[in-house]
Structure 1
Amino acid sequence: MPLVARWLLSVVVRSLLVGLAASLLIAEPAAAQRNPITSFTRLWGEWDVVPNSQWAPEAVDPSAQPDRSIQIFKFQPVVPFRLNDDWTVLTRTIFRFISLPTADPLIGLSPAGGPALLGWDQRSQAGLADISPTAFLVPDLGPDFTIGLGSSLVVPIGDGAIDSGKLSVGPALLAFFHRGPWVVGARMRNVWSVGGQSDRDDVNRMVVRGLLRYQLNPDWYLISSPIIAADWTQPDGKGWVVPVGGGVGRSFRLAGQPMQVSVEGYYNAVKPQVLGEELLGDWTIRTQWQILFPN
């Protein structure tokens, strides 16, 4: 091959290699810079079980024992709607299915022959409770931060003790930092009742859900996502729930569909009081399952 031809061939090959390397360097950061909060639609199921709970204080039922379980299943689709290159509306709607220990009064005759409360017939009341849609307006702050401000609504759907009985509304906020294997942040809201059943208690409730996640490898991660709640209508700070704990999760694909599952345990370090008694069990066991759809 003539010298000039060899030189031209070497120039072409070098140019192709440089172009390929540049495209790879550009494509890799672009993939790595996907926002983990707003880049996925999630179908999210969560099951919380609180064993060793008590249905009522002893002042109501002297025979009440901490031998019941509270179960809460939440289906919460998370759907982002990208308005433009700078703004995204992130929506989360929580559907709650609750099994709550309760009891029916047993009425009979007293020794004097009059009507009297003889005891309680304990049972579990289950069904669809409150539905909570929330929407956040999220600006594009780059790959490391997600901050959003919005509003939340609580719509009572259940019957009786398993829902709040009040239509409530309030502000909502989320803030997350995500870099490398870490995701750290929280989502919070505070709602006040604006309508509903007049014989039910007013609502003034704050819920903060933190998130601390560390990705051990492409398949496994550590997670802590406690749900801290405060009922501001209770006096002397007796309406707080503060769990402490965490668990482990795994990412995988099923029939090509990306999913995540986790199992977590939380010790309820601070529990609300009813007539001076703590009715909630000491531990909450949580199972989460997410199906992810990249946007």
Structure 2
Amino acid sequence: MKQRRFWPLLVGMAAACLSPALAHAQDSDAELAKKLSNPVASLISVPFQQNYDCCYGPEKGGRYTLNIQPVIPLSLNDDWNLIVRTIVPIVKQEHTQPGDDTAFGLSDTTQSFFFAPKAEHNGLVWAIGPAILWPTGESDLGTKKWGAGPTGLLLKQDHGYTYGVLANHLWSFADAGGHDRPDVSQTFIQPFFSYTNKHATTWGVNAESSYNWKTKGWTVPINLSVSHVYKFGDQRVSLGGGARAYAAQDGVGPEWGLRFVATFLYPK
């Protein structure tokens, strides 16, 4: 795969992998855990989210996905932040149909640009901006389409509780070598709820729901998770895991899944 296809990702990922010296000593672990529950918090973080889903198709094939998800907050002025959230998926897909081969490589990248006011009102946070679908996926793992659309977030935090919804919609607008591929029109809706205690442990539940307007089908995984912020020397890391069941699925699966996340934190 040509490296020029990755240029929009490299800047964000390089900026995310900053020195742990950025850590601010007065940021408590509990406060960092609370910020992690806010997708547009002013916190540089680099999550490595590992997922295993089973079982796809008549062959009951599994799918392993490593999502590298750097989050970069940028201060635009006294009133506004720009938060760049990038999801780079590395996928191994086992065969799902008789005669299928195992596929391994990059899937398509989603990059969101949230404009968020710095001021909060009674713990209420909102953000809005564009989302871009980069056709970085291998032939068997991507759409081969350029896509874009709006994204938005609304949440409230109060006494350790965080609840809200994150959403976007992506339309394809150009081919990237996939003239025979269907167009993309997909809505993503993620309602979420979590509680963070004073010991920096967070319990959460969310539904990473997506609706494909071309196939007219929903995929709705319900995720249960728990995480805790640890300190290794000067580096703070949130480690967490969980499981999910699928309330709805578009097509051939999956049925259930597992998740482990390691998030490296770099407070500003």
- Would the TM-score normalized by the shorter structure come out above 0.5? yes
Equivalent position of 1:99 in the other structure: 92
1:70 partner letter: R
Pairs within 5 Å for 1:1-295? 36=35, 37-54=40-57, 64-66=58-60, 68-102=61-95, 120-142=98-120, 144-196=123-175, 197-235=178-216, 239-273=217-251, 279-295=252-268
Structure 1 match to 2:14: none
Q: Secondary structure at the match of 2:67?
A: strand
Contact 2:145/2:174, CA 8 A, preserved across alignment = yes
How far apart, CA to CA, are the structure 1 residues paired with 2:212 and 2:109? 18
Instruction: Count the aligned residue pairs.
Output: 234
Gaps of 5+ in 2: 1-25
Distance change in 2, residues 1:206/1:179 (3 Å): same
Tell me: higher relative CO, structure 1 or 2? Use CA pairs within 8 A at least 6 residues apart. 2
Alpha-carbon distance between aligned partners in 2 of 1:169 and 1:192, rounded to the nearest angstrom: 6
Q: 1:219 to 1:139 in 2, by over 3 A?
A: closer
Q: Distance in 2 between matches of 1:91 and 1:210?
A: 20
Where does residue 10 of structure 2 map in the other structure? Answer: none
Distance 1:253 1:232, change over 3 A: same
* Alignment-mate amino acid for residue 83 of structure 1: L
User: 3-state DSSP class of the match of 2:140?
Assistant: helix
Q: Percent identity?
A: 20
- Residue by residue over 1:13-48, the C-alpha shift from the partner in whole angstroms, topping out at 9 and shown as x without a partner, is xxxxxxxxxxxxxx99xx97xx82422101011111
**TM-score using structure 2 length:** 0.80
Distance 1:146 1:222 in 2: 20
The residue aligned with 1:15 is: none
SS in 1 for 2:182: coil
In structure 1, distance between residues paired with 2:174 and 2:215: 19
The two structures have a TM-score, normalised by structure 1, of 0.73
- Counterpart CA distance in 2 for 1:158 and 1:292 is 28
Could you say what secondary structure the match of 1:141 adopts?
coil
Q: Is the 8 A contact 1:42 1:292 kept in 2?
A: yes
Residues 226 and 246, structure 1, Cα contact 8 Å, conserved in 2: no
Q: Which runs of 5+ in 1 are unaligned?
A: 1-26, 55-63, 105-119, 274-278
Distance 2:44 2:224 in 1: 24
